[in-house]
Structure 1
């Protein structure tokens, strides 16, 4: 029996409301030669039973029941049993176009790609907003081009108008399982490291020879403001430090500092803005929380290192005002965003 073309790994926790919509989009893929691995992360709702019912109805569905360990470890459990040529990750409250797997797999085969990415469409209130990072099929071939792409995923150079040139995500793509297994790549726990997807991306890209980006937005990301992804706290803010320590350690193991430093600093600047915005929209003790960020020596060091004059005007004005350390001003700017 031949291995499936793609293993689709779906971590599941407390998503009874959305699971059927996700599964309809997977079970009806135009690429039928796939396996769907449902990883029940000790979900407290009806999801474990639903998973078993899906497996009973379709032989392509595998179910892993495990003790709760979080999204990253659930993905790792899926990787441990995956047999496909390529691997895809789908979050269980999201859904995908019916031709996503066929399109990405065909491109991967045509270009002998280690990874193929597509665009994302954000799903809010029944409406889609598409994000296109490329306007045509784009190939990054050879170590140098893939590393340059990786650095732009970390953070763009100062002159770039977008704070995010290419979105980091493990979900809007298919990855070579051979590259993953040959290099023993697994996810770090999101409970210890913010943006575990970015660390995953770096581990992968550093071992890849060809990445292809297609402009089509096949992945529907459900925006849920009440989800863990969008909650903010000082504890979550403090995890920035550990994340950036791991991120720089990964980059330093691959490249000279002068090659990655500006990309890393731009990434840190975005986290500064997102931290301010996160506290402002969290309905907590907003002014004290924003002041807490503004007085953090981490950002003082960042502001002393970054070439702000090279930034586009909008970003340059924002960070110039941030140096004034006025919580009221930062709150106003965050609400205007």
Structure 2
């Protein structure tokens, strides 16, 4: 049985997937499996992945019949994983070559989840995307940390992630904010969470990609996703008796992110709409601050 499963949900990333797979197959920890979930893109991503798989038996390709989206593609990868430990890699990013070794060592003391530091790469310039201090936290203490939604740069027990899938249940496709939903549930069900300062992940970011690829249908899908995740958090909180203060903080933070996203979209398209959203964003950020203060006090 492999010690760690790395899951790559793959859709139209032919420019980058070789880099991601190289960062997996060259890990210093060799006893791993690499699960590529083919989410039915239109480019040659999977052809490239198959070339790698022909040379490395640790690579397993799962063929989705239809496009499922990142959230469900990840879940399919988890269900098919053979390791007790799960890591995620978006195939336009890469792992540091010692990421799995560090992850395995960090999980030895009966830890449920480890959250690492990560770099953001923009125009070949690197800076911290996530910066962690070394500390062991219970779930309430973890909730009182400022939320970072990304589920990459983590290692998680497989059985706990399967519980996350069960708690969230089935819903319509999400195109954004799914990491926030997963992170919210993980924060409530993990009892021992380790923050680790080691940088294990490189996140490549195209800062202009959101506005360049804008269209009305995509905007509607993003809007639906944010408000659906807020609704799901509210329902899940009530059904599972999760921390109410944390739920309110997460919902307010998601609304703030949605308004920030909308502002970027409208900045060059509708100046009046942009200014209106800017005022709403300022008010929403105040609500985020207030809900965080309530969370810290309890």
TM bucket (normalised to shorter chain) is 0.7 to 0.9
Q: How many residues were matched structurally?
A: 286
Q: Structure 1 length normalisation: TM-score?
A: 0.74
RMSD of aligned Cα (Å): 3.3
1:167-246 matched pairs, under 5 angstroms: 167-181=148-162, 184-185=165-166, 191-192=173-174, 194-225=176-207, 227=209, 234-235=219-220, 236-246=222-232
Question: Are 2:248 and 1:261 aligned?
Answer: yes
Match of 1:287 in 2: 272
- Deviations along 1:15-51, one digit per CA (max 9) or x if unpaired, are 1111111111110001111000011111211122112
How far did residue 260 of structure 1 move? 4.3
Offset, 1:183: 5.9
How has the CA–CA distance of structure 1 residues 237 and 284 changed in structure 2, closer, same or farther, with 3 Å as cutoff?
Answer: farther
Q: CA deviation at 1:278?
A: 3.9
What is the deviation of 1:240? Answer: 3.1
Aligned-pair CA distance for 1:189: 6.8
Match in the other structure for 1:80? 79
SS at match of 2:75: helix
If you compute each CA radius of gyration, which structure gives the higher value, 1 or 2? 1
User: 1:266-317: CA deviations, max 9, x gaps?
Assistant: 453344344323432xx323433553x4798xx89x76x94978999xxxxx
Distance 1:70 1:148, change over 3 A: same
Gaps of 5+ in 2: 294-298
* More divergent stretch after superposition (124-133 vs 223-232): 223-232
| Separation in structure 2 between the aligned mates of residue 289 and residue 182 of structure 1, nearest angstrom | 40
SS at match of 1:206: helix
**Closer, same or farther in 2 for the Cα pair 1:202/1:307, shift >3 Å?**
closer
Q: What's the CA shift string for 1:227-262, capped at 9, x where partnerless?
A: 469856552335433222222223343336456435
CA contact (8 A) 1:71 1:189 kept: no
The 8 Å contact of residues 7 and 86 in structure 1, kept in 2 or not, is answered as yes
Contiguous gaps of at least 5 residues in structure 1: 153-164, 313-337
Q: How does 1:37-56 map to 2 (within 5 A)?
A: 37-56=35-54
User: 2: CA distance between counterparts of 1:226 and 1:33?
Assistant: 38
The equivalent residue for 1:4 is 2
Partner residue, 1:146 = 139
- Partner Cα separation in structure 1 for residue 169 and residue 212 of structure 2: 20
C-alpha spacing 1:227/1:92, structure 2 compared with 1 (3 Å): farther
Picking from 111, 114, 126, the partner of 2:112 is 114
Q: Pick closer, same or farther for the CA change 1:221–1:187 going to 2, 3 Å.
A: farther
| 2:296 aligned residue | none
Measured in 2, the distance between the counterparts of 1:148 and 1:51 equals: 40
